[in-house]
Amino acid sequence: MKFHDITCSQCGACVRECGPLREAISLTDNGVRIDLELCMACGHCVAVCPNDEMEHPLSPRQPLMDKLPTPEAAAMFLRSPRSVRFYKQEGASREQLMRLLDMGRYAQTGVNSQGISYLALDGRDKLEALNALFCETALNLMPEHPEIARLAEVIELQKERKEERIFRGAPQLIIALADKDHPRPRENAQFSLTFIALFAPTLGLGTCWAGYFEALAIHDRFAAPFWKFLDLADNMRIRGALMVGIPDVEFRRLVAREPLRVDWR
Ligand SMILES: Cc1cc2nc3c(=O)[nH]c(=O)nc-3n(C[C@H](O)[C@H](O)[C@H](O)COP(=O)(O)O)c2cc1C
């Protein structure tokens, strides 16, 4: 089906909203017509319709928006989440994790390309096995790839201190996946994982970016051992990773950052 027709009061709000994006909506005799081949399913037309008349087959109607928090409450929400490096023994429940990951779907993506799915590695024993594979892979690759030499330091430290340093002893790891042919996989994975990281504290969970792991795992030239370990489908690639668990640390204060720097012209 190429077109979807809607009978409506023709206020034109959806036509205007779609204009700068796709011009996929046009007025008809008694309503509007959506060209579904042009449409990128962003849902702006559904969200903007003042009469709740827009029914879009690619963008089902969602609840009305609630009042936004105050700027002060929003600032607190955005500044509160910290990287968690101590986790309780038990992990998040699968129900909690599903609720958490669900939020990742709402991050903005270029041309509404979306396309991120998640693999949840659940259990310290599995993360420990992945840690061992990470170290082995990194040490094997290092002689030929000086660009990953910095990983030697953390591997050495982990051995010396007998502390889990790659995943910080987290019980769970969220791995963002995308198809190997996805046009913007890394940005989409990072934004989705950022939504997840920001939402986590509201569920009593903490997260930390798995930057060491990502240093190998998001690069296809290094990542084959991880694809095998994780039993990924042939077309899927790792595009980001975040440790998750119940924090065993409490942060009481906000922290400072570098001062704001803005140039005006
Ligand atoms: C892309 C990225 C990768 C990171 N990788 C790691 C990591 O591998 N291990 C770790 O302990 N922290 C990691 N971090 C956490 C940073 O060290 C942390 O964000 C920074 O020190 C600021 O602290 P905060 O997140 O608590 O505000 C990473 C952060 C980002 C954004």
Q: How far is the CA of 39 from the centre of ligand 1 (A)?
A: 38
250 domain residue, yes or no = no
Ligand 1 atom 1 nearest Cα: 211
- In this structure, are 108 and 201 located in the same domain? yes
Give the predicted TM-score (pTM) of the model: 0.95
- In this structure, are 135 and 50 located in the same domain? no
pLDDT digits (tens, 9 = 90+) for 133-182: 999 999 999 999 999 999 999 999 999 999 999 999 999 999 999 999 99
Give me the residue label for tokens 């205007």: 16
264 domain residue, yes or no = no
Q: What does the block give as tokens for 154?
A: 């953390």
- In this structure, are 95 and 151 located in the same domain? yes
Backbone φ and ψ of 177, nearest 5°: -115, 150
pLDDT digits (tens, 9 = 90+) for 63-75: 999 999 999 999 9
Backbone φ and ψ of 124, nearest 5°: -60, -35
pLDDT at 21: 85
pLDDT digits (tens, 9 = 90+) for 97-134: 999 999 999 999 999 999 999 999 999 999 999 999 99
Ligand 1 atom 19 nearest Cα: 83
pLDDT at 224: 98
Structural domain that includes position 49? 1-66
What is the separation, in whole angstroms, between the first and last Cα of the chain? 49
Q: How far is the CA of 30 from the centre of ligand 1 (A)?
A: 55
Say which residues have a Cβ less than 8 Å from residue 206's Cβ, sequence separation at least 6: 81, 82, 84, 87, 200, 244, 245, 246, 247, 249
What's the mean per-residue pLDDT of the chain? 97
- In this structure, are 107 and 160 located in the same domain? yes
